[in-house]
Amino acid sequence: MGKTEISMKVSHFWEVECYEHFHEDGERCSVPHDLCLLEHPFSKLKWREEFKNIVVTAGLNKYLDATLKTGLTTPLWYVGLKDTGSIVAGDIMSSHAGWATITPYSNATDPAFTPGTISGGSVSNSAAKAVFNINATDDVYGAFMKDDNTKGGATGTLLGGADFGTMRAVLSGDTLNVQVTCTLT
């Protein structure tokens, strides 16, 4: 009798949008959107990035553990931002020599990845995107997911991440909305 082979591919697709905000008088707001006491009737999309990421070995192990061994529904996952340098398969949160986390945002912790309904082998946070309230000028090169919400922290499990197609500048007052779609095929 022949063998049946089952193969699976884990992929994450990211959509990151950066908005700048304006007051009624047309002046650009320079404080994080969540801290501004004035209305922002005008928001303008500054840039948008779409990219796929690598799921690192530790992340693949977490998928296998939760699915085939422990059935864990936790931990929760969080989104972080990174500087230049690429994430590679062997990276873990406590050791990733090629890149560093960056924190040009006022959020007290890294924003949560809040997945919606799983359907067709896919789930995303499209209904509750991870939001970064930018409070400093910086260059952002990519994003990642981890299971610890410590802002700029180096603990927990790195699930994966990747670089934007090009470096993107953020300014104080901008808002980054991050959507991640996770798919198993």
Domain borders along the chain are: 10-184
What average pLDDT does this structure show over 6-12?
Answer: 84
> Which of these ranges, 3-7, 8-12, 160-164, has the smallest mean pLDDT?
3-7
Q: Return the exposure string of 140-172: e unless at least 16 CB atoms fall within 10 Å of the residue's CB, then b.
A: bbbbbbbbbbebebeebbbbbbbbbeeebebbb
pLDDT in tens, 98-137: 899 999 999 999 999 999 998 998 999 999 999 999 999 9
**Which candidate, 74, 61, 49, places its Cα nearest to that of 10?**
61
Tally the C-alpha atoms within 13 A of residue 88's C-alpha that lie toward its C-beta: 7
What pTM was computed for the model?
A: 0.88
8-12, 110-114, 120-124, 161-165 — most confident range: 110-114
Cβ–Cβ < 8 Å for 124, 179: yes
Residue 8: the pLDDT is 77
Q: Is residue 120 packed enough to be buried (19+ CB in 10 Å), middle (13-18) or exposed (0-12)?
A: exposed
**Which candidate, 154, 158, 156, 133, places its Cα nearest to that of 145?**
158
State how far the Cα of 133 lies from the Cα of 40, in Å rounded to an integer: 14
State how far the Cα of 71 lies from the Cα of 43, in Å rounded to an integer: 42
Q: CA-based diameter of the chain, in Å?
A: 75
State how far the Cα of 53 lies from the Cα of 79, in Å rounded to an integer: 13
Model confidence band, residue 37 (pLDDT cutoffs 50, 70, 90): low
pLDDT averaged over every residue in the chain: 89
Q: Return the exposure string of 23-37: e unless at least 16 CB atoms fall within 10 Å of the residue's CB, then b.
A: eeeeeebebbbeeee
State how far the Cα of 69 lies from the Cα of 4, in Å rounded to an integer: 22
